[in-house]
Structure 1
Amino acid sequence: MNDVNKKQETASVKPPEILYENDDFIAVNKPAGLLTLPDRFDAGLPSLAGLLEKRLGKIFIVHRLDRDTSGLILFAKHEQSHQYFSQLFASRQVEKYYYALVNGQMPEEKGRIDAPLGEHPVRKGKMTVQKKGKSAVTLYEVSERFALYNWLTVQILTGRTHQIRVHMQSCGHPVVMDELYGTAHPVFLSAIKRRYHSGKNQEEERPLLSRLALHAYRLHFPLPSGEHFSLEAPLPRDLQATLTQLRKHGS
């Protein structure tokens, strides 16, 4: 990406939706397509951390979401809270829940995927199931079934890179629009609605969903006071619209 395109992308990024904020941390609903923070592959692109630092000053990274995953993410506002939340995530005291639209029909209503993950031996930035990889455990439940897709509620007990995406691929049901681990086929209304007619004067059909169908919707964790605290991020418009149309026509 050249400098002109980077400037244009930066200018088009909207301020992130703040879901909760206190003196210790801030929780944000990250839009799909926005980096959590820049890495060596995407230097110069806008990031959620960068946008928040313009408003708050220095913030501290506690965990990450993939660029194409939307949803709830938490940042610490000072070193003490950073240490506290980092320890919570490291010791797996944070319950992390996602919504995912996957291809095909899951064979069971509920399941557990326990498959260690490691870096791909050839392709940088890609993960694979490996016997000698790091432990990775994913729980899923089918919330709704449609003809072509299943809508899942997912809980990850570990926090490995691309964990849900790799685990769903490993069981033959990749997340919709996962270019790295599945296919890049968008969701079109014409594919799920019988007797779909575009109209003679209508432009080329626009997809209902053209990005990774994965959303981090809930975090549950203890505060330093001992109180248990939950946060949720509402579905973005594209996922909500897709789910609405699937409920109408996708069965």
Structure 2
Amino acid sequence: MRNKIDIIAETEHWIALNKPSGLLSIPDREQSEPSLKDWLNEKYGKVWIVHRLDKFTSGLIVFAKDEATHKLLSKQFEEREVEKFYLGLVHGTPVQEEGSIDAAIMEHSVKKSTYVTHAKGKASLTDYKVLHEYGSYSWVQFQIHTGRTHQIRVHMKHIGHPIVCDDIYGTTVPVLLSSLKRKKFKLSKADEEERPLMNRLALHAWKLKFTDVDGTTKELEAPVSKDLKAMLQQFEKWIK
């Protein structure tokens, strides 16, 4: 697991990493597979959870190395003092290039671990800004002012532009080069079928801004993962 995880920054009080897609942030109830927290516990003895990322969301995540730091950082997250930015690919392009989605979120009454917008839910606010339009897709920056489970995913479904390859709130249809190149696309003789440009949740935790233990402002950034970067390069090449 060490070879797959990039350490973004580290102090004696906390560690920030660029979590790869497909890796759990923390162990699930069944302890069914390794998690990032397991690896960190093995490396540091014990770490404390400050916040979480969905399994298939890549990007920036911070763990505390001591109880006092955990309390400090957790309080900032709970009181919405942390600035949190994400990047993601969505289906289509919102009518407004930037805006805010202010829609309360609650757990689905029947489908466990699935969430919906509902007036009786908890207040949830997401800002978005379209950075690039790529045909039937858009590359979007998000800032979340609340920390609801699946917040960006639920809100983008709410406005009709779900995150690409979202198996819960959208569709699992992968992004294919053939859909970009159209008539120019030819399958390699070595390949029996086309390899997708993207077949996992196209969402990346990009930046965090918080107050460090010494009172200074800390701003961290996780570079976009290799698979997302490669996909965007293909978009730039084939979509004018």
1:13: how far off? Answer: 7.6
Could you say what secondary structure the match of 1:193 adopts? helix
Residues 50 and 79 of structure 1, relative CA distance in 2, 3 Å threshold: same
* 2:207 partner SS: strand
What's 1:27 paired with?
16
Q: How many residues align?
A: 239
Shifted more, 59-68 versus 194-203: the winner is: 194-203
Letter in 2 for 1:62: V
Q: Matches of 1:13 and 1:134 in 2, distance apart?
A: 37
- Measured in 2, the distance between the counterparts of 1:18 and 1:213 equals 21
Structure 2 counterpart of 1:127: 115
Q: Does 1:207 align with 2:196?
A: yes
Q: Does 1:154 align with 2:114?
A: no
* Structure 2 Cα separation of the partners of residues 200 and 164 of structure 1: 40
| Cα offset, 1:204, TM superposition | 1.1
After TM superposition, the structure 1 stretch with the greater mean CA deviation from structure 2, 197-206 or 103-112, is: 197-206
Which deviates more, 43-52 or 75-84? 43-52
Q: Is the 8 A contact 2:125 2:144 kept in 1?
A: yes
1:15, 1:51 within 8 Å by CA — same for their partners in 2?
Answer: no
Aligned to 2:236: 247
| Distance in 2, Cα, partners of 1:241 & 1:16 | 18
RMSD after superposition: 1.3
Aligned to 1:197: 186
Q: 2:35 aligns with which of 17, 29, 47?
A: 47
What stretches of structure 1 of length at least 5 have no aligned partner? 1-11
If the length of structure 1 is used for normalisation, what is the TM-score?
A: 0.92
CA deviation digits over 1:87-112, x for unaligned, max 9? 11011111000001000111111110
1:112 maps to which of 78, 89, 100? 100
Fraction of identical pairs, as percent: 48
CA shift in 2, pair 1:207/1:226, >3 Å: same
